[in-house]
Amino acid sequence: MPLQPRDRLIVALDVSSVAEAQVLVARLGDTVSFYKIGYQLAYAGGLAYVATLVGTGKRVFLDLKLHDIGHTVAQGVKSVAKSGASFLTVHGYPQTMKAAAEAREGNLRILAVTVLTSYNDADLAAAGYDAGVAELVIERAAQARNIGIDGVVCSAEEAVKIRGIVGSELALVTPGIRPAGAAIGDQKRVMTPASAIAAGSDYLVVGRPIIAAADPKAAAEAIVAEISSVKG
């Protein structure tokens, strides 16, 4: 079944408490059906909040970027599967991806992070990588496909090339989404919602342009409308 525009928007609950998250979720109402919980909220009670969101019919993406020895990753994945979350991120290293893929249970889908959208070629070089962003993203996406990962997290800038490699097998989840005129912040590889969808992204992760807006619901509705405007 094709994804509906509303279901393709994932709002990042990048707030410091469950109370703040509850207020934001209430303000967004039925406009948003999918939420991401990352480090900021996860370490402030957000892991327990997953069950609450799921219980009200929302989907949850736990952005924990697991990366450790295989056994530890596998046990973490099994624990997350019990939470009711739909998506979980792991870093895109073959050993980590393999352990996560083998340990997933129920409806949990594993997403591999290719290269963070706050990185560019210079950042990778400073971290000791010989490859540039484009090359490393493609390599990790191909590895994810071969290992059996459910999807990858990538910049929309790389979506077209990745789609050519993985076809429709993997979901492409893209952060770094900025409506026209929005501040880029610490992101370096960004794209508008419509452009990202046209490039092949399945899900768009949006945080600050919505949660920092004077009217978060209106901001979310505008992004859903922009997603809806893309044909095909």
pLDDT tens digits, residue range 185-217? 555 456 789 989 998 999 999 999 999 999 999
Of the candidates 58, 65, 98, 188, the residue annotated as catalytic is 65
Please state the domain extents for the chain.
Answer: 5-228
Residue range 5-228 forms a domain whose CATH class is alpha beta
DSSP 35: E
- Contact status, residue 34 vs residue 54, Cβ threshold 8 Å: no
Q: What sign does the dihedral 190-195-199-200 (CA atoms) show?
A: positive
Using a 10 angstrom Cβ sphere, with 0-12 exposed, 13-18 middle and 19 or more buried, the burial of residue 227 is buried
pTM of the model: 0.91
169's CB contacts (< 8 A; 6+ apart) are: 145
Report helix angle 18-28 to 47-55, nearest 10.
30
- Among 19, 52, 34, residue whose Cα is nearest residue 171: 34
- Among 174, 172, 147, 150, residue whose Cα is nearest residue 162: 172
- Contact status, residue 175 vs residue 156, Cβ threshold 8 Å: no
pLDDT tens digits, residue range 27-45? 999 999 999 999 999 999 9
- Among 168, 44, 147, residue whose Cα is nearest residue 99: 147
129's CB contacts (< 8 A; 6+ apart) are: 136
pLDDT of residue 190: 62
Where does the pLDDT of residue 23 fall: very low under 50, low under 70, confident under 90, or very high at 90 and above?
Answer: very high
SS (H, E, C) 95-123: HHHHHHHHHCCCCCEEEEECCCCCCCHHH
pLDDT of residue 71: 98
pLDDT tens digits, residue range 62-85? 999 999 999 999 999 999 999 999
* Separation between Cα atoms, residue 42 and residue 35, nearest integer Å: 12
- Among 69, 73, 75, residue whose Cα is nearest residue 89: 73
pLDDT of residue 168: 87
pLDDT beyond 60 at 89: yes
Catalytic site includes residue 65: yes
